């Protein structure tokens, strides 16, 4: 049996349509069970677009694009983090593994094949935390032979995992106080990007609402890795300013697989050049130093009363 796909949609009807229609073109689509979780509007401004999304997904039931389709509509707004945590928990409890996409991710024709085969190949590998269908624009050594690489950081752009890994996460972050003041733990977490520890701090202060940073924290605690493809099976179309948590940027643009070349899975180990390039994608030491200096200058000017 193939692994089910869980899709989370909210208030972007055109993005959701592209996401679902591209998934339906996958060679394994008609053999795959799909769950669509539709969050309720958080305010009147979002209501019309949420209704448009729901009108579209309701039309899918008669089209027989997938083996089966389950549509779950929230009656009140949960927000992305709670929606994903509760939705993934429900499905993964039943199936033991799950593939997850959000409503701004276009998939390649071989996305489902890649994800299913990766989940089967790495299921018993105690080093692997999750599978990513997306890859970042990073430097791959010219003599690198594998079709995949490993990273310390998980990805929320088209990913998959198993129930035993998912159940390891403490979403309440009961050990955060220890992490907050422990330089060794913070440095370890930042192996996947210098933004990670600060992002977790922001989550715990209520400045952001992220399931993914807590997911990545559990991964770091467990010393586990994420598998990424050299050629991306996912393209993010949501970095256009339309999403709740998105900004306008081309930083995440990638060339999508055409599905003609099958991915061969192996155990390549961590490659130092890839690890460095991946980490620097989220900001270098110099980038963060410049930000600190700017903040310090702003603080000094405010203290002197010269900045309004």
pLDDT of residue 3: 98
Domain 5-166+222-301, CATH 3.90.550.10 — does that match?
yes
Question: Judging by beta carbons within 10 Å of its beta carbon (0-12, 13-18, 19+), is residue 255 exposed, middle or buried?
Answer: exposed
Does the structure show a pLDDT above 60 at 276? yes
Tell me the per-residue pLDDT of 197-237, one tens digit each, with 9 for 90 and over.
Answer: 999 999 999 999 999 999 999 999 999 999 999 999 999 99
What value does the mean pLDDT take over residues 79-105? 97
Does the structure show a pLDDT above 50 at 245? no
pLDDT of residue 191: 97
Quote the mean pLDDT of the chain.
91
Segments making up each domain of the chain, as ranges: 5-166+222-301
Tell me the per-residue pLDDT of 67-80, one tens digit each, with 9 for 90 and over.
Answer: 999 999 999 999 99
pLDDT of residue 238: 75
Distances in Å between the Cα of 59 and the Cα atoms of 53, 56, 106, 164 are 10, 5, 19, 35
Tell me the per-residue pLDDT of 231-244, one tens digit each, with 9 for 90 and over.
Answer: 999 999 975 455 45
pLDDT of residue 1: 87
Tell me the per-residue pLDDT of 19-72, one tens digit each, with 9 for 90 and over.
Answer: 999 999 999 999 999 999 999 999 999 999 999 999 999 999 999 999 999 999
Average the pLDDT over each of 136-150, 223-237, 250-264 and give the range with the smallest value: 250-264
pLDDT of residue 252: 61
DSSP H helical ranges for the chain: 13-24, 44-59, 80-95, 111-122, 163-166, 176-180, 183-189, 196-204, 212-221, 272-280, 285-304
Q: 3-state DSSP call for residue 117?
A: helix
What value does the mean pLDDT take over residues 265-285? 92
Give the confidence band of 249 by pLDDT, cuts at 50, 70, 90. Answer: low
pLDDT of residue 301: 65
């Amino acid at each position: 049996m193939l692994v089910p796909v869980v899709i989370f949609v909210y208030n972007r009807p055109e993005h959701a349509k592209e996401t679902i229609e591209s998934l339906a073109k996958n060679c394994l689509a008609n053999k795959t069970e799909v769950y669509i979780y539709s969050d309720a509007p958080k305010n009147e401004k979002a209501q019309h677009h949420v209704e448009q999304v729901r009108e579209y997904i309701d039309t899918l039931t008669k089209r027989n694009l997938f083996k089966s389709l389950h549509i779950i509509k929230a009656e009140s707004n949960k927000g992305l983090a709670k929606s994903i945590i509760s939705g993934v928990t429900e499905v993964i409890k039943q199936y033991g593994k799950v593939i997850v996409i959000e409503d701004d991710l276009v998939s390649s024709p071989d996305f489902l094949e890649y994800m299913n085969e990766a989940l089967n190949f790495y299921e018993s590998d105690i080093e692997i935390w999750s599978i990513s269908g997306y890859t970042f624009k990073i430097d791959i050594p010219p003599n690198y032979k594998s079709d995949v690489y490993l990273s310390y950081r998980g990805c929320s752009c088209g990913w998959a995992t198993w129930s035993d890994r998912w159940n390891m996460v403490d979403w309440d972050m009961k050990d955060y106080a220890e992490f907050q003041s422990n330089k060794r733990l913070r440095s370890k977490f930042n192996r996947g990007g210098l933004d990670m520890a600060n992002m977790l701090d922001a989550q715990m202060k209520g400045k952001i609402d992220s399931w993914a940073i807590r997911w990545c924290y559990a991964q770091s605690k467990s010393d586990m890795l994420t598998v990424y493809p050299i050629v991306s099976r996912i393209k993010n179309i949501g970095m256009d300013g339309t999403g709740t948590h998105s900004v306008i940027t081309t930083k995440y643009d990638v060339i999508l697989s055409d599905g003609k070349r099958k991915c061969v899975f192996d155990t390549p180990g961590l490659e130092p050049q890839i690890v460095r390039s991946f980490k620097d994608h989220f900001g270098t030491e110099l980038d963060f130093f410049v930000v600190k200096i700017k903040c310090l200058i702003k603080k000094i000017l405010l203290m002197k009363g010269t900045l309004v």
